[in-house]
Amino acid sequence: MKPIVLSIAGLHSFREKQEIDFESLCEGGVFGIFGPTGSGKSSILDAMTLALYGKVERAANQTQGIMNHAEDELSVSFTFELLHSSGTKRYLVERSFKRADDIRLRAGSCRLIEKGEESFVLADKTGEVNQKIQELLGLTIEDFTRAVVLPQGKFAEFLSLKGVDRRQMLQRLFHLERYGDELSKKVKARLQEASQKVKEIEAEQVGLGDASQEAIDMATKEASDLEILLTKRKIELTEIEKKYENQTKLWQWEQEKQHLVKTLQSLQVKEQTMNAIEIQVKRSDQAVKLLPYAEELSHSESRYQSTLEAKVLLEKALSDRRENYKKAEEKYIEANKNRILEEPLLLSKKDKLTSAKELTITKLQVENEVKELTNKLNTLHEKLEIEQKTYLENKSLLDRGQLKQKELKQQLSKISISADTREQYQRAREQRQYIEHVRQQIEELKMSYKDRYKQVEGKQELLRNHTRENEELHSRLVSSFKSVESMYEQICEQERKLEFAKHMTENSIEKLRTEQEQNREKKLAEHLANRLQEGEPCPVCGSTEHPNTHILSGSEDIEMEAQMKNRKDSLAQLHQVIPQVISLKLSLEQLADLLINEGISTTLFSAPLVSSQTESVINMSEIELLITEIKGISQDVLQRKEQVQKELKHKNQLQQQLAEHVQVIKISNEELEQLKNKMDKFQQEEREALGKWANEFPNFQLETFNERLKELVAQDQEAQSLHARIEKSVSFLEDKELAVSSAKDHVTKLEKTQIELQGQYKHKQERCLELIQQIQQITNDGDVDKLLKDVELQLEHLYKQEKEEQEIYQEIGRKIQGIEGELKTHISLLNDLQHQLQKANEKWVEQSKDSEFTTLAELQAVIIPPEQSKGLKEELQNYIDEVKQINHELDKVSKLIGDNQITEEIWKQTSAIFIEMKEELQVLVEQKGSINQTLISLKEKHARYSELEDVRLNISQKVEQLGKLQQVLKGNSFVEFLAEEQLVRVARDASERLGLLTRQRYAIEVDSSGGFIMRDDANGGVRRPVNTLSGGETFLTSLALALALSAQIQLRGEYPLQFFFLDEGFGTLDGDLLDTVITALEKLHSNSLSVGVISHVHELRQRLQKKLIVEAAEPSGIGTRVRLEIL
């Protein structure tokens, strides 16, 4: 952590905002903060802790009485940097306070900002800022003022701390808490996780059921027997399948042949229509070939005719234009003659009238100037009267103001207060505030003592009630344990019955399966016998006589299938229920273990003895009855488990509350004792403060001091008011003196300007009369503008008439040239078009001589649109292709059938036999799949059980190790060990530094109780307590410890501490020792640690290169000021 900028306003003796550039100060390694006693040096450290933590340690209630008495608002801001491996981050913390009364403050704004390219607010509420600062630094305010910023009275505190307090402080400074509760929580969580994993594995092993090697062998044999039977059935199915396939092909070919014959007949019906489409398409194709020649001939005839008509129209237009051209030429010549005769006379007249107009404008300008001069003279006269009046008024105000200022100065000299009197009042006010604060503390402590005493009585009553409730709850848990034991015996009995029912049901299924196989073989033999014909040989024995062929009833098979289904349903239910029973047993065992672990009972469960009597076969209704009973027991177990867990949770909560109550009562009694000691201390301080008041302020009564202070304030306010009025009168009188002088100058200037304007007015009047005479000579009193406009209109008419006639004449000439060119073009085009028409006619005659078409209209009538033509051609071709394809396929099918004949009846009979044998084979395949799946499942369960067993043994070993580690971490022994080791490291480093400071005379050691002890090496290594040290020795020892501690502190375990402040002790050192200490501090810069020392020792100020000078507040009201001084 490195300080950058500290800003202070309104704190203690600071009034105006003062900024301290620590970035510049810290560059030199060691810097000093110097100033006279009471100047505000220590207030700088107060400002730093106030900005970071919102508290000032030496203030009452940490904020009372810290605001300057003349201010109503206090503000501090602190910019600092944190350096870690990933880079540097800069933060700004700001706080402001407002006055609530004479000593108490009210919190205002509060913000913590992370500075960077884009700054953003991390927190903007007091509680959030406090929490965030502690998260960033990892230090409380107590740790900060013992190891980083050491204010007056705190420097030697770490040296004299008791073992427990020092150890707790080291735990926070070096973040050892992660090796205490945090590490214990992690070990406990991992132990619980591992124990739960073991229970889960054991439950899963139980849920796997019978996965022994014997069960696997039995399933393997059953699968092998079924495989042999399946092979036999596959051979029989192959033979019948070949016959079925041959007959199926023949029947398909026969059906296909019949379908083709019907299709060919339907196509022959469309033959006549297809012939008509063929003729239509051929005529359309012929017309399409001739169409371009007919269109070309028609187009040529059309163009020739339109061009001929256009030529005739152009010849007529040319004749009309030539006649108009001659008339326009005559009009243009006449207009030109008129312009040449009239133009000179009109231009001369225009020049004279233009001159008269200019004279008229000049006359108007002169008349305006005369009017303007008249207005100026009138305005000037009014201003002159106003300025004369203003001069007299300001002269009168100046005389009265000077007299009033003299009276105010006389009043101010009478009520001014001396600096000594003001200082006496200030000290008395601070002493009175201190006395009131002490009395307030005493009253608060009395109230706290009374409240705490009531709380202790309430906690003791709660302790008695919870003890009774805990005893009653223990009795209920003992009863629950007996109930759990009874249910466990009942579940074990039900499990034995279910296992017996499972065994009997499996035997019954095997017996039924054997009987079904025998009946199936009989049924197959009967099927073969039914197919025998008299006189044909038997496929089994070859005999041609078949005397005993009869069909057995199928009712036996149906009855066996029903029995088999019932047995399998029963077995499936048993397979579902047995794992549930095992799970219930496990739940009851776990519940019992839980009660035993909680000390409810010491008796372990044991399975009940199995009855040796022989049981009869269990039927389906008895199994259902067993399942119903188990469901009821399961519900009872769940209810009992919930009840026990709830009661155990309540019991643990009660025990925890009992322990908390005992601890709270113990702590409360200690706090009562502490409160009593504090009250005694404050009462002694009150007596001492009252004695000090009587000695230092005998002229003031404590009870009436407030009234005296208010009188002083009122007198101050009156003096400030008079001073303000005098200051205000000075500027007023200066303004009035300036106004009098300015008014006098204005009067003189205005009189001079009046004379000049009167001369200009006379000259302009004479010039105006002269211009009027000249204008009359030209216009004979006529209107100049009207006359000039008439002349200009006449000229414009001449020019316009000539130009219009010329443009008409030229335009007609251009049009004649255009028509002549266009006529030549049409004559040439007609010759070309006549030649094209002749060629197009020859082509048409040549191409159409062998066709039935003679005109374009005939061609267009028979042409089919392209899409329609394409569709008709495709339809015709498809018809031809389809006829060819059907004839081809019909020949192919006839060859495939040959001489073989088959009927639908024969094919259906063969198909039924094939399907029946195929279904039978499918049943066998499904049975094989079921048996194989059961075998695979057994093998997987067997492998899973072995795998789980290996994992269980491994985790059980881990559980044992974690249990031992948990025992080791109980209490804070491990953290205390680390804190002691850290303390030894700090003491070793401090001893090296202390040896340099004392020329190897003293060293620091840690005793068996965790306290510091001094070793005097100059006296043969004699050891003595730290409280026997002198003031200078205590300072050097504390300094060595502070340097060692600061060098090893890592804020939050990651940010290095780059500075610390020291605010006392240098006055106890002699010159040589002071020189040694300064030299040691200057060497710290190489270790990236800056040290700030606060002192008033002159020799120390001379030694340091960089200094912050603190100038004390002045009686006039100016607050403490700071400035940087670098040599």
Task: Return the H-helix or E-strand segment holding 166.
Answer: helix 163-173
Give me the amino acid identity at 909: Q
Q: What is the pLDDT confidence band of residue 111, given thresholds at 50, 70 and 90?
A: very high
Residues counted in the chain: 1127
**Highest averaged pLDDT of the listed ranges 35-49, 315-329, 936-950:** 35-49
Q: Is the pLDDT of residue 537 over 80?
A: no
Kindly state the tokens that stand for 406: 């003299």
Q: Which residue has the tokens 């034995």?
A: 496
**Positive or negative: CA dihedral 687, 689, 691, 697:** negative
Q: Across residues 221-240, what is the average pLDDT?
A: 80
Q: CA dist 1001 to 107, 551, 1076, 1117, Å? A: 51, 126, 14, 51
pLDDT of residue 6: 95
Contact call for residues 258 and 838 (beta carbons, < 8 A): no
**Positive or negative: CA dihedral 163, 168, 171, 174:** negative
First to last CA, the chain: 26
Task: Return the H-helix or E-strand segment holding 677.
Answer: helix 620-696
Task: Identify which has the larger pLDDT, 1105 or 113.
Answer: 113
pLDDT of residue 146: 67
DSSP alpha helix (H) spans, 863-1002:
866-897, 904-968, 973-997
pLDDT tens-digit map of 866-917:
788 778 878 778 878 888 888 888 788 778 777 777 777 777 777 887 787 7
1045: DSSP letter: H
Contact call for residues 544 and 592 (beta carbons, < 8 A): no
pLDDT of residue 1120: 92
Q: Which residue has the tokens 């074990």?
A: 492
Q: What is the pLDDT confidence band of residue 611, given thresholds at 50, 70 and 90?
A: very low
Q: Which residue has the tokens 């152009």?
A: 314
Kindly state the tokens that stand for 162: 């008791």
Q: How far apart are CA 85 and CA 344, in angstroms?
A: 104
pLDDT tens-digit map of 676-719:
888 888 888 888 888 888 888 888 887 787 887 787 777 777 77
Count CA atoms within 13 Å of residue 299 on its CB side.
10
Q: Is the pLDDT of residue 616 over 70?
A: no
pLDDT of residue 421: 74
Q: What is the pLDDT confidence band of residue 609, given thresholds at 50, 70 and 90?
A: very low
pLDDT of residue 430: 77
Q: What is the pLDDT confidence band of residue 529, given thresholds at 50, 70 and 90?
A: low
Q: Is the pLDDT of residue 1023 over 60?
A: yes
Q: CA 267 from chain center: how many Å? A: 77
How many CB atoms are closer than 10 A to CB 191?
Answer: 18
Q: Across residues 968-985, what is the average pLDDT?
A: 77
Q: Is the pLDDT of residue 223 over 60?
A: yes
Q: CA 524 from chain center: how many Å? A: 77
Q: Is the pLDDT of residue 571 over 80?
A: no
Per-residue buried b or exposed e for 815-830, using 16+ beta carbons within 10 Å of the residue's own CB: ebeebeeebeebeebb
Q: Is the pLDDT of residue 369 over 70?
A: yes
pLDDT of residue 80: 92
Give me the amino acid identity at 385: E
Q: What is the pLDDT confidence band of residue 175, given thresholds at 50, 70 and 90?
A: low
Q: Which residue has the tokens 């005769």?
A: 341
Q: Across residues 351-360, what is the average pLDDT?
A: 78
Q: Across residues 650-678, what is the average pLDDT?
A: 78
Residues of the chain above pLDDT 90, percent: 5
Q: Is the pLDDT of residue 549 over 70?
A: no
Long-range CB contacts (within 8 A, 24+) of 128-132: 129/54, 129/93, 129/95, 130/53, 130/54
Kindly state the tokens that stand for 477: 């848990």
Q: How far apart are CA 383 and CA 746, in angstroms?
A: 9
Q: Is the pLDDT of residue 613 over 50?
A: no
- The strands making up 87-99's β-sheet, listed across from edge to edge, are 18-21, 2-9, 73-84, 87-99, 105-115, 120-123
Show the domains of the chain with their CATH numbers.
1-148+1051-1127 (3.40.50.300)
Kindly state the tokens that stand for 437: 């604060």
Kindly state the tokens that stand for 494: 């039900």
| The dihedral formed by the CA atoms of 399, 404, 410 and 414, expressed in degrees to the nearest 10 | 180
Contact call for residues 592 and 488 (beta carbons, < 8 A): yes
pLDDT of residue 37: 80
pLDDT of residue 612: 40
Closest residue by Cα to residue 462 from 246, 660, 299? 660
Lowest mean pLDDT among 113-127, 553-567, 671-685: 553-567
Q: Across residues 247-267, what is the average pLDDT?
A: 79
Q: What is the pLDDT confidence band of residue 5, given thresholds at 50, 70 and 90?
A: very high
Residues of the chain above pLDDT 70, percent: 88
Phi, psi of 209 (to 5 degrees): 75, -155
Lowest mean pLDDT among 211-220, 739-748, 761-770: 211-220
Q: How far apart are CA 77 and CA 868, in angstroms?
A: 94
Q: How far apart are CA 1061 and CA 619, in angstroms?
A: 93
Task: Identify which has the larger pLDDT, 210 or 60.
Answer: 60
Q: How far apart are CA 392 and CA 913, in angstroms?
A: 145
pLDDT tens-digit map of 771-819:
777 777 777 777 777 877 887 788 788 778 878 878 887 888 888 888 8
Q: CA 156 from chain center: how many Å? A: 48
Q: Across residues 164-174, what is the average pLDDT?
A: 67
**Positive or negative: CA dihedral 900, 902, 907, 913:** negative
Q: Is the pLDDT of residue 233 over 80?
A: no
pLDDT tens-digit map of 451-502:
878 877 887 787 788 788 777 877 877 787 777 777 778 778 877 888 888 7
Q: How far apart are CA 801 and CA 336, in angstroms?
A: 9
Phi, psi of 706 (to 5 degrees): -60, -40
Contact call for residues 474 and 600 (beta carbons, < 8 A): yes
pLDDT of residue 895: 81
* Arithmetic mean of pLDDT over the chain: 78
pLDDT of residue 1066: 67
Q: Across residues 318-337, what is the average pLDDT?
A: 80
pTM as predicted:
0.37
Q: Is the pLDDT of residue 1085 over 60?
A: no
Residue 877, C-beta contacts closer than 8 angstroms, at least 6 positions apart: none
How many CB atoms are closer than 10 A to CB 484?
Answer: 23
Q: Is the pLDDT of residue 540 over 60?
A: no
Q: What is the pLDDT confidence band of residue 129, given thresholds at 50, 70 and 90?
A: very high
Q: Is the pLDDT of residue 96 over 90?
A: yes
pLDDT of residue 159: 65
Q: Across residues 939-968, what is the average pLDDT?
A: 82
Task: Identify which has the larger pLDDT, 419 or 491.
Answer: 491
Kindly state the tokens that stand for 453: 């005493």
Q: What is the pLDDT confidence band of residue 971, given thresholds at 50, 70 and 90?
A: low
pLDDT of residue 610: 46
Q: Is the pLDDT of residue 104 over 60?
A: yes
Q: Across residues 59-69, what is the average pLDDT?
A: 84
Task: Return the H-helix or E-strand segment holding 122.
Answer: strand 120-123
Q: How far apart are CA 486 and CA 476, in angstroms?
A: 16
Contact call for residues 393 and 697 (beta carbons, < 8 A): no
- Mapped onto helix, strand or coil, the DSSP state of residue 551 is coil
Contact call for residues 60 and 430 (beta carbons, < 8 A): no
